[in-house]
Amino acid sequence: MKQCESCGMPLDEKTTSVFDDRYCIHCQDQQSGELASKEQVREGSINAAMKFMGKTREEAEKMADVMMPKLPRWRE
């Protein structure tokens, strides 16, 4: 399954941005097409891990910090 190149979220017809199919609706504003900042994406990933995976804040931060550098948008 295709993943958002910014946050790693699985992409489908409901979650894919209308502006760029590499990104999800959470990482790319669906009115302006503007991409979320690295800090916004990190915070969203942390909150999602806590809410949907039951992670503590510390666990979620570690997950985000390991995952994000592997994604195409944040590779250096």
- Overall domain count for the chain: 1
Q: Which domain holds residue 49?
A: 38-74
pLDDT tens-digit map of 10-61: 999 999 999 999 999 999 999 999 999 999 999 999 999 999 999 999 999 9
* Residue 49 counted as domain residue: yes
* Residue 55 counted as domain residue: yes
3-state DSSP helix/strand/coil percent for the chain, to nearest 5?
A: 45, 10, 50
* Residue 7 counted as domain residue: no
pTM, 2 dp: 0.92
* Residue 8 counted as domain residue: no
* Residue 18 counted as domain residue: no
